[in-house]
Structure 1
Amino acid sequence: MIYANLLHPPHPSQTARFAEGFGQRVLLTVDTEEEFDWDGPFRAEGYGLSHVRSISGFQEFCEGIGVSPVYLVDWPIANDPLAREIIGDAVRAGKAEVGVQLHPWVNPPHHEQVNTYNSFAGNLQEELEASKFRRLRDAIEAGFGAAPRIYRAGRYGLGPHTARLLSESGIAIDSSVRARYDYSEGHGPDYSRHPVTPYWTDPERKLLELPLTTVFWGLLRRQGQRLFPLTAKFPLLGGLLSRLGLLERIGLTPEGVSEEEALRAIDIALDDDLPVLVLSFHSPSLAAGLTPYVRSEEDLDALYDWLRTVFAYLASRGVRPTTIEEIMLAVDA
């Protein structure tokens, strides 16, 4: 068996094909995690879980708009009784799905130094990454009553051995690639050359990569993959290109992306025939004051308005919500 290094962009021949009639769908993923200081150092302890009660209202909201969210759960969430009750009830009712999200700094065993480099699980020694992952996967299966089939590395931190680990652990989909982003300056992966289209990571089609959706918008969007990395070196250039409507990078998330920007990004993604649009945000944003994106109750109302507007617009474009199960059936077909 040949296992891919997910840090490398795939060959075009690895592009996944979906069953006729699948059309274009949207998947809502939630990085379901502990609360921490976004501006502070990484810590193995001292986090909060006060927002977990807000997941209940969010789940009701999703059911009201016909969306089955995917909760990508990390260690503190997997071991929280209230989270297991709220998310577990939704999973058992077939109204949500659960997956794995590995935050190595709060996930045992703790054999590494807690720092920025080791906050990317893929930077850990192979055995330690595997040990943390397996303990988390087992805790999720025991706590939520379902074997997780999707993985997202915290901080999008894939490594050279992650594909083997996931394939041998029953994971069918990885969604760690944040295409068109480069985290290498902070010791993380460089996904600036990765596609947003789903692709197989191995010849036997055991592991599907489902990148988070990010598009380039503007008159120069077709040159975005080549031009946008220059904006990291010349920040003023990025601002100028955006103001002139020449080039902008837009991710499908309610965190830091306006409704107007998101609708433009959806139009681009659909025009480019992207089969699955992957939306994401962090669960602590479901309560005010816990992330930089939701500072107030007004910000929280805006997050829900964003989701309501985006899903209504997708429906008007004929894009239906989907699930991990539907995606796997479509690519297997």
Structure 2
Amino acid sequence: MTKQNKPSVLFVLSVDTEEEWDWKTEFPQHNVQVENIQAIEGFQRECNSIGIRPTYFVDYPVVNNSQSVEVLKFIDQAGQCEIGAHLHPWCNPPMTAENDEFASHVVNLPIDLVEQKLVNLLGKLRTSFEKDICSFRTGRWGINSAVMGLLIKHGITIDSSIYPFYRNNYFNCDGAPVEPYWPDLSNPLKAQLQNQQSSIFEIPVSAGFNHAHFTLCDKVNNLSNTRLLSFLRMPGIMWQLKLLRKIYLSPELSSATDMQTLIKVLLKRKAPIIHMNLHSSSLISLPYNNHPFTREQMLENMKQTVSYLQEHANVTFCTLSEAKEILTQHQGIQ
């Protein structure tokens, strides 16, 4: 395939830049460990060799640690990344007594408490990095109209809290677009019907299935996860037979082969952007890491996937804010 025949696509890598801990224990509130941030130096060199300029979504324990700030500030000042905000409510002041699964999701908290936490986080980030912060992701994903209103109020112009096709007992992203969009502020899981707002832009991570008709695939996937079919192990059977695979573009969760399959489908669907995601804690060896790949395997998954993308598309590497500018100004997304 010649360069002229290849589709053009943006590539963004976002990194949830946060503390490390054993997910089998309670959410850490005090004496939070951020040793993984020191591994970002080596990771950034890997990114530089490929051409990737990550967007680091930084949470409070990281920005509250001077050594971690020094690592990230050096990369930022070299123009090799973007610094965004990442809100983990359990370890972002003000602290509360509630520290369970329900309270770990920002969308479940009282909105005045969310605002206090957001103000503290953004203030710390803007002071530490001596620059404005305009991109944001909730910890553990999910967004609602109240939280999105706060983001606009406090100067955030790009959100990336949508995790397409994801649902659990505490929130879901059912029906959310898989491509970047201007959200309906009354329901951020929907794109606005017309030019109603241009204050905040949503850029979800890339996710989908091994077939191009995502809506139908999602319905079949939901059906297969009903109690009876799940008991009959239907999701696993369909996965093994490659009849239906839900794939997230994360080298922590998906093999290079599966991510390449997803990219092939996304390019077929004429996706304007490929958005990969990972967590900074995966950059160190953790005995309690629940991801299926080692650090070395994860990095290899990332490299192979990006190489595949470059073979099949004309790729522009950019940060999240740069992607927003390109998509909204040059391509006229409404």
TM-score interval for Structure 1 and Structure 2 normalised by the shorter chain = 0.7 to 0.9
CA 1:219–1:106 in structure 2 vs 1: closer, same or farther (change >3 Å)? closer
What secondary structure sits across from 1:40 in the alignment? coil
Cα displacement (A) at 1:218: 4.3
Bigger Cα displacement from structure 2, 318-327 vs 198-207: 318-327
Are residues 1:133 and 2:126 paired? no
CA 1:47–1:80 in structure 2 vs 1: closer, same or farther (change >3 Å)? same
Query: Aligned match of 2:324 in 296, 309, 328?
Result: 328
Bigger Cα displacement from structure 2, 323-332 vs 305-314: 323-332
C-alpha distance in structure 2 between counterparts of 1:62 and 1:45, whole Å: 32
Indicate if the aligned counterparts of 1:29 and 1:69 stay in contact, CA closer than 8 A: yes
Are residues 1:177 and 2:191 paired? no
CA 1:64–1:226 in structure 2 vs 1: closer, same or farther (change >3 Å)? same
2:245 matched residue in structure 1: 248
For 1:14-48, what per-residue CA distance to the aligned partner results, in whole angstroms no more than 9, with x for missing partners?
Answer: xxxxxxxx941110000000011112222312432
1:50 matched residue in structure 2: 35
Query: Aligned match of 1:191 in 173, 176, 181?
Result: 173
Cα displacement (A) at 1:212: 1.1
For 1:134-184, what per-residue CA distance to the aligned partner results, in whole angstroms no more than 9, with x for missing partners?
Answer: 11011111112221211110000323411101111111111111011112x
CA root-mean-square deviation: 1.8
Indicate if the aligned counterparts of 1:294 and 1:300 stay in contact, CA closer than 8 A: no
Indicate if the aligned counterparts of 1:92 and 1:145 stay in contact, CA closer than 8 A: no
Q: How many residues matched? A: 306
Counterpart mapping for 1:136-175 below 5 A: 136-175=121-160
Instruction: For structure 2, list consecutive stretches of 5 or more residues without a partner in the other structure.
Output: 1-6, 185-195
1:301 matched residue in structure 2: 296
Counterpart mapping for 1:55-70 below 5 A: 55-70=40-55
What secondary structure sits across from 1:329 in the alignment? helix
Indicate if the aligned counterparts of 2:212 and 2:268 stay in contact, CA closer than 8 A: no
C-alpha distance in structure 2 between counterparts of 1:281 and 1:115, whole Å: 23
Cα displacement (A) at 1:332: 3.3
CA 1:242–1:220 in structure 2 vs 1: closer, same or farther (change >3 Å)? farther
For 1:274-309, what per-residue CA distance to the aligned partner results, in whole angstroms no more than 9, with x for missing partners?
Answer: 1111111110100111622277xxx22111111111
1:292 matched residue in structure 2: 290
Indicate if the aligned counterparts of 1:259 and 1:310 stay in contact, CA closer than 8 A: yes
Indicate if the aligned counterparts of 2:10 and 2:323 stay in contact, CA closer than 8 A: no
What secondary structure sits across from 2:12 in the alignment? strand
For 1:93-118, what per-residue CA distance to the aligned partner results, in whole angstroms no more than 9, with x for missing partners?
Answer: 11110001100000001135111111
Counterpart mapping for 1:1-333 below 5 A: 23-183=8-168, 185=169, 187=170, 189-202=171-184, 203-218=196-211, 223-233=216-226, 234-235=229-230, 236-289=233-286, 291-293=289-291, 299-317=294-312, 318-330=314-326, 331-333=328-330
Indicate if the aligned counterparts of 1:98 and 1:146 stay in contact, CA closer than 8 A: no
The one-letter amino acid of 1:38's match is W
Indicate if the aligned counterparts of 2:87 and 2:121 stay in contact, CA closer than 8 A: yes
C-alpha distance in structure 2 between counterparts of 1:219 and 1:204, whole Å: 30
The one-letter amino acid of 2:19's match is E
Bigger Cα displacement from structure 2, 299-308 vs 132-141: 299-308
Cα displacement (A) at 1:268: 0.7
Cα displacement (A) at 1:49: 1.5
Cα displacement (A) at 1:219: 8.7
CA 1:221–1:195 in structure 2 vs 1: closer, same or farther (change >3 Å)? closer
C-alpha distance in structure 2 between counterparts of 1:159 and 1:109, whole Å: 21
The one-letter amino acid of 1:223's match is L
C-alpha distance in structure 1 between counterparts of 2:166 and 2:212, whole Å: 20
TM-score, normalised to structure 2, is: 0.87
CA 1:283–1:249 in structure 2 vs 1: closer, same or farther (change >3 Å)? same
Bigger Cα displacement from structure 2, 256-265 vs 240-249: 240-249
For 1:258-283, what per-residue CA distance to the aligned partner results, in whole angstroms no more than 9, with x for missing partners?
Answer: 11111001101111111111111110
The one-letter amino acid of 1:292's match is N
C-alpha distance in structure 1 between counterparts of 2:15 and 2:96, whole Å: 28
Indicate if the aligned counterparts of 1:285 and 1:300 stay in contact, CA closer than 8 A: yes
The one-letter amino acid of 1:208's match is F
For 1:185-212, what per-residue CA distance to the aligned partner results, in whole angstroms no more than 9, with x for missing partners?
Answer: 1x2x211321211110241211111111
